[in-house]
Structure 1
Amino acid sequence: MPMSRIPSLNWIRAFDAAGQHESFARAAAALNVSPAALSKQIAALETHLGARLFDRGPHSVTLTAAGRAFLPVVRESLMALEGSALSLFGTRQNRPVILRAPFVFNASWLASHLQDFRADNPDVRLHIVSGAAQEETPDEADVIEISFARVPPPDAMMLFGERITPVARAEIADRIGTPGDLISETLIEIGFHRTGWQTLLAREGLDFRLARAIHTESTQMALSLASGGAGIALARRPVSDFLQGSLGLVPCLEDCDLAGTQSFYLEDPFRKRSEPAQKTCDWIIARAAAEVTGGA
């Protein structure tokens, strides 16, 4: 019959302290419990394991062979637990900065700049999550929100807009000589974007309803399908530039682009934040501004 889980982590901590100090009294002082309480915890652990971990003398305790074998396993496990907790939650002085943004912002724009960010801010511990992720955050001062919207959120700063450009694999792009040629190809449309194929083709006097279309839910999915040869997708510059390049997609026509009606916004940029979060905000603002003006 398999052994059940150890009921209390306190039993493990008591054993670890006693094994390091080789004294119940000193271990109890280190854990801020009474020697009697610590002794009971160790006895409960020994009963649960079915093995004696300490030889108890009148004035000292020593590890048994089983205890000596078990101690390094316990020590390594506790250190791994503490290390993971520090990585996820930090200390009061060095909490991680949580950047919550649309997936394409994180997977493309941020991905292309992340190495520079880390070089400029080696002390900032950044946790990157998509805008769809719902998770508890211990300190809102350490959370940075990037949104994609047509109407600016209250107290938000626009980072950049988007320009819509048809892109495809080179062999498909080579077949497109005029906007009218787009109708003969499969067009990959994103359902929730306000500016898409219908708007772009209407500007050229073309009817999107005459085209073969694949509908999908995201820019990254559309670009991935186009990379596989499924058709022509709409890149959204500058946010998707990195994904477009990494997937080997090229523009189908020069000067065939269109300004989108939605933009990326940094929410509440002037709210008081922790120092690492403020560094991250300032860096994003500066890098986005440099890119918009052609300085990056």
Structure 2
Amino acid sequence: MSRLPPLLWLQAFESAARTLSFTAAGNELGVTQAAISQRVRLLEDRVGQKLFVRHARSLTLTPAGQAWLPSIHDAFVRISEGTLEVFGSTLEQPVTLRTTPVIQQSWLAPRLIAFHRAHPQVAIRVVSAIWPDDFGPEGADIEIRYGKGEWTGVEMQPLGAEQLLPVCSPALAEKLITPADLAGHTLLHAAGFGVGWPGWLQEAGMAHLEAQCRSLTCDNQVMTLALASQGGGIALTHRRLLEQRMDLVAPFALSALSDERFWLVRPSRRHVSDETERVWQWLIGSL
């Protein structure tokens, strides 16, 4: 009986070891983070040694993992080269686009629909990222990231300046005439943004008002906007994310500028396929 572990386990190890992230490996291989973690654990059981040191939000390789990775990586490279040599480059490779769910729903979806209608022959694979370390140069041809643009090894195109403003359901908006009317209502917070409710309230001259409001915090804007649309409170969001939202209104005209913004990002040291370039230029042209 062969002692070689299953290919899926080896693939999960190689991707996770290269990216040092189970989430990134899952995005790259089109499976969940939990699936990658399970495959790696099964592989560790098979070889009888730990391959990763698991920290709270990161991974490092054990000495055994470091020693094994070059052999596994080289094996996959040889398989890829052999496949290309025998079958040529006729295998269709989709353009992988990675971004957060809220950008997918509110900004990307209508643009992808228009692109697909104009270029139905181009295959696209969209994968999700929630946390900043879900992003990275591996596994995606194009990303839409949020931040100050302080990344290395990538080409970047800003989507434009960002303005954040409160949004809520139309029924709730009728009760909000001035920012002072927020008192007693629920403010919906999305974690991970440089400018949040404290920044907007200060811009409105109502910095003291937060203590008079109830609070509910989520780790993503998809949930805060969903709660807001159902009358669960008032969310703070980016003006550009309201393009396709008919269930949310902005009760106040005041917005707060942010030094963070959304960026189109792609690796600067990678061959760019014609299909990837076409998607990239389409998204830039839609700004």
The interval holding the TM-score normalised by the smaller chain is 0.5 to 0.7
Distance 1:141 1:193, change over 3 A: closer
What's 2:272 paired with? 273
What's 1:150 paired with? 148
* Residue ranges of structure 2 left out of the alignment (5+ in a row): 1-88
Kindly indicate whether the alpha-carbon contact (under 8 Å) linking 2:162 and 2:238 is maintained by their aligned counterparts in 1.
Answer: yes
Aligned with 1:97 (options 73, 95, 98): 95
Letter of the structure 2 residue corresponding to residue 100 of structure 1: R
* Residue ranges of structure 1 left out of the alignment (5+ in a row): 1-90, 289-296
What's 1:259 paired with? 257
Residues of 1 paired with 2:142 and 2:93: CA distance? 13
What secondary structure is seen at the aligned counterpart in 1 of 2:201? Answer: helix
Letter of the structure 1 residue corresponding to residue 195 of structure 2: T
Deviation at 1:269, TM superposition (A): 6.9
Runs of 4 or more, structure 1, over 3 Å off, are: 132-135, 139-142, 268-272
What's the CA shift string for 1:206-248, capped at 9, x where partnerless? 1222321111111110010111211111131213432x32xx1
Q: Superposed, which structure 2 residues align to 1:58-77 within 5 Å? A: none
What's 2:249 paired with? 250
What's 1:229 paired with? 231
Deviation at 1:191, TM superposition (A): 2.1
Letter of the structure 1 residue corresponding to residue 249 of structure 2: V
Distance 1:172 1:125, change over 3 A: same
What's 2:10 paired with? none
Residues of 1 paired with 2:234 and 2:126: CA distance? 30
Deviation at 1:143, TM superposition (A): 1.6
Letter of the structure 2 residue corresponding to residue 286 of structure 1: G
Residues of 2 paired with 1:197 and 1:141: CA distance? 34
Letter of the structure 2 residue corresponding to residue 241 of structure 1: E
Kindly indicate whether the alpha-carbon contact (under 8 Å) linking 2:141 and 2:266 is maintained by their aligned counterparts in 1.
Answer: no
Greater radius of gyration (CA): 1
What secondary structure is seen at the aligned counterpart in 2 of 1:264? Answer: strand
What's the CA shift string for 1:161-188, capped at 9, x where partnerless? 4211111111210111111112232111
What secondary structure is seen at the aligned counterpart in 2 of 1:184? Answer: coil
Letter of the structure 1 residue corresponding to residue 251 of structure 2: C
Kindly indicate whether the alpha-carbon contact (under 8 Å) linking 1:142 and 1:277 is maintained by their aligned counterparts in 2.
Answer: no
Aligned length: 192
Kindly indicate whether the alpha-carbon contact (under 8 Å) linking 2:187 and 2:235 is maintained by their aligned counterparts in 1.
Answer: yes
Residues of 2 paired with 1:220 and 1:161: CA distance? 21
Residues of 1 paired with 2:223 and 2:112: CA distance? 22
Residues of 2 paired with 1:264 and 1:237: CA distance? 12
What secondary structure is seen at the aligned counterpart in 1 of 2:241? Answer: coil
Residues of 2 paired with 1:99 and 1:234: CA distance? 26
Comparing 149-158 with 115-124, which one deviates more in the overlay? 149-158
Deviation at 1:114, TM superposition (A): 2.1
What's 2:212 paired with? 210
Deviation at 1:140, TM superposition (A): 6.4
Residues of 1 paired with 2:162 and 2:254: CA distance? 14
What secondary structure is seen at the aligned counterpart in 2 of 1:127? Answer: strand
The root-mean-square deviation of aligned C-alpha atoms, in Å, is 2.6
Residues of 2 paired with 1:115 and 1:258: CA distance? 31
Residues of 2 paired with 1:163 and 1:174: CA distance? 22
What secondary structure is seen at the aligned counterpart in 2 of 1:153? Answer: coil
Residues of 1 paired with 2:202 and 2:159: CA distance? 28
